[in-house]
Structure 1
């Protein structure tokens, strides 16, 4: 029997792990997942795209161009998906990238490169689509025909704007229908479900803690699986902590050695800098299985010997390892669960191989960590299983009475951020808290009042994010309620209600019963966050018509802030309230 899939087999299940630094593709073949190698025989492909005088290179060939063509070699592009150019995270990344990123229309980032002798601009989605196309080509080569549907993974910490951006990437890459986007921790859970004892899975609930330590971010999720439902209980993320953070420690360590030896700063030479970065990535991997590593690097005619022991590396990165442990504790705390209640601790991502980190986690849980499935491939493995289930090619315990599109594998999703309104003192009054289940419909209600005497109109500023101060979060929209009865300040009682449905539909209702006025607006699924714009919506009391207004700058919630206790039930609307009547 040929290893290839028959050309008349219409059901081709493909799952793709769209990582920050590298990607992995799997296919359902002969009743199991097969991770496919690229043309170089490697099972992970670098997310690099390089533009030359004659062609566009993707993958390992593009990564090789980083040393000789850095300004036209693009990487870490997933970081830009769903972001605005003015976002603090984007501005920080710009300091380290050799390629040029500028602000385009609506403050969206634009990548500028020289291609075939001409300055050319690309959207981040277009560049990432080139990487996705590469992965689809690997699968198409294996099956002998184009791939039109697939399941792709997204990080647990992705916002709706980023998920929507990934849908755009899939469309540009030629996927006729993005069958499913699965969170990376959920995909990892799926992969391990397939190797569980069937009778155990049918008899009781299984609880998984997913420790996803990738190149650019750390996601920790607590997931329950029972009666065919994969239920995400809580998640805790640090989008700024990843394997690159550890590589950077090595980079600065060796840069200091080189500066001391040669009396020169390697950071002023981009070619030498990226060669050293590549060396640090390689040494970081080797230190996971060796107690000491060394290599040579040639720069400006000098041969530089670089060496480091595992103990030295652990000493210089112990604070980062402790930050990882803190995220695990935070995840358990959010769910109000104890570590002894976890059945499996699943490791995901190449950075999870760090011996010191593994040792501390194992001591913390008092049990063996689970890495039976390659941590570099487990997400692609799970995404492929989900693709096979979508096409009715595979059933895990509990699927037997379900068919194709009719089952719901993933349980209720969680709100990734707080949703609330700005108060008079500039605080965010939270109506719907993060990690709340989006199950059919979740609601939150608060009472607000006026800031001035005889105020006949108020304006409600709606934000999402984690910061106590409203202005440090993402402005979602501005809603105006007019027609209030003139009265002393603080007298009108404006009831504001938020509701979020399973499909992502956000509805905001503002009502003042004394005057008999009410306004309501709804955002279609994904639009209230993915638009990357805020919309000023004015709802007239009589006509109830919606009118789009000017765009506002969005401020992203900062990860170092966490929610605090809610404010009092009666809040004054902020100073932005419209003062239509006399004072």
Structure 2
């Protein structure tokens, strides 16, 4: 029986598997731990993961990437509108303001919902597990990680996608909680129950957003005290900022505007991601050279880390504010924090460490795998829930980022009770009611 944890990121996906010796993150058919969150459609078949991402430039209009934050949202949602420009295929507005992703599949124009694309990607991950693990004939039970700020509507959309893919989700867990679980369950030096808890801040800077969580640990127990997030800071927004810089430079230098053509525009975003990664490890100017970029012109430029940090100062300020807001309205202060762990691909940017050090007067730690922490925590949660594994007891008290109002009406004498539950679905305090 499979015991799996899935981390479906905006850029990459990871699969955690619980074994008797611990948690292992398995590789895909390209021997890589990271599987791109990309689905591509063609005239004969569809491809997913590495194969789809490698062919994105040749099949641009039929490729779907950066769709995670469209799941469970309406077309007119401001957050959806921020991410739609990063989706290569045509995004259309369907009935009831739903989002449709329009591609040419099997020589027919087809429109898929983000949930269907998510299900297709999960199907790929399921077949990866079945091919990589000889002792697993059929994958079923799993735990899937989602951002802590996902609303009830989004979580139900994810649950529907999991069912479409033939999987059975034992639980949909917050990514922040999965990270905390992956950290705490192996710690043997946590304070005893009833004594002062160990306070740890987890800063997760992913591809599309930043999440921070404050967690209190005792032996065999974690309590999520508070979470905060920002949907406009992360790797994608750093890449877009660098791309905008080079677009203006190329416009002045070569007389071309990359934003007017989809293929060069996406190609430039990929090249800017590479520049960002190299700047994180080098202080020397990093060159960017693209052959036959646009109008048969070769382009080149360069950027230095200091220039990038000045350019991205507003994004770094948002990340700092995400950490500051973590302590608003609670008794814990930054000086009470014992450790700060940073995870997520964009946490490798040196300025992130400086922000943490300035705020907490402590150096952040990177004892966890920065890319695989969510998948490992989700797999551990699945092992705790699964009857096939014996895991030492570990209590998790999670937090609810949105208001929940429960009201009762009627009584037994009137023929029964009616329970009305209202969820605040986003920061505008929109509500949905279930009965």
Q: Normalising by the residue count of structure 2, what TM-score does the alignment of the two structures yield?
A: 0.89
- Candidates 375, 391, 404, aligned match of 1:395: 391
- Candidates 522, 528, 550, aligned match of 2:419: 522
- For residue 174 of structure 1, what is the aligned residue in structure 2? 166
- For residue 349 of structure 2, what is the aligned residue in structure 1? 354
- For residue 196 of structure 1, what is the aligned residue in structure 2? 187
Cα distance 1:351–1:211, how it changes in 2: closer, same or farther (>3 A)? same
Q: Secondary structure at the match of 1:287?
A: helix
5+ residue gaps in structure 1? 1-9, 400-408, 420-497, 500-506, 511-519, 533-555, 560-583
- Candidates 65, 88, 103, aligned match of 1:98: 88
Within 2, Cα distance between the matches of 1:163 and 1:27? 22
- Candidates 141, 162, 175, aligned match of 2:131: 141
Within 1, Cα distance between the matches of 2:290 and 2:330? 48
Cα distance 1:412–1:33, how it changes in 2: closer, same or farther (>3 A)? closer
Within 1, Cα distance between the matches of 2:185 and 2:220? 12
Within 2, Cα distance between the matches of 1:319 and 1:417? 27
- For residue 82 of structure 1, what is the aligned residue in structure 2? 72
Deviations 1:12-40 (A, max 9, x none): 31111111221101111242111111122
Mapped pair 1:417 → 2:373? no
Deviations 1:356-409 (A, max 9, x none): 12112123212231211221111111111111222252534x45xxxxxxxxx3
Aligned residues: 420
- Candidates 113, 120, 140, aligned match of 2:110: 120
Matched ranges for 1:35-434 at <5 A = 35-144=25-134, 145-175=137-167, 177-198=168-189, 200=191, 205-226=197-218, 228-292=220-284, 293-298=286-291, 299=293, 300-391=295-386, 393-396=389-392, 398-399=393-394, 409-414=395-400, 416-418=401-403
Within 1, Cα distance between the matches of 2:192 and 2:270? 43
Per the TM alignment, residue 303 of structure 1 is displaced from its structure 2 partner at its CA by 2.4
Within 1, Cα distance between the matches of 2:13 and 2:258? 30
The answer (yes or no) to whether the contact 2:28–2:132 under 8 Å persists in 1 is no
The answer (yes or no) to whether the contact 1:187–1:381 under 8 Å persists in 2 is yes
Per the TM alignment, residue 103 of structure 1 is displaced from its structure 2 partner at its CA by 2.6
5+ residue gaps in structure 2? 411-416, 430-435
Higher normalized contact order (CA 8 Å, seq sep 6+, divided by chain length): 2
Deviations 1:515-554 (A, max 9, x none): xxxxx85346xxx559x9xxxxxxxxxxxxxxxxxxxxxx
Q: Normalising by the residue count of structure 1, what TM-score does the alignment of the two structures yield?
A: 0.68
Within 1, Cα distance between the matches of 2:27 and 2:112? 28
The answer (yes or no) to whether the contact 1:385–1:394 under 8 Å persists in 2 is no
- For residue 414 of structure 2, what is the aligned residue in structure 1? none
Within 2, Cα distance between the matches of 1:37 and 1:291? 32
Within 2, Cα distance between the matches of 1:336 and 1:108? 42
- For residue 557 of structure 1, what is the aligned residue in structure 2? 427
The answer (yes or no) to whether the contact 1:217–1:242 under 8 Å persists in 2 is yes
Cα distance 1:134–1:329, how it changes in 2: closer, same or farther (>3 A)? same
Within 1, Cα distance between the matches of 2:58 and 2:349? 31
Q: Secondary structure at the match of 1:125?
A: helix
- After the TM superposition, which parts of structure 1 deviate over 6 Å for at least 4 consecutive aligned residues? none
RMSD value, Cα = 2.6
Q: Secondary structure at the match of 1:395?
A: coil
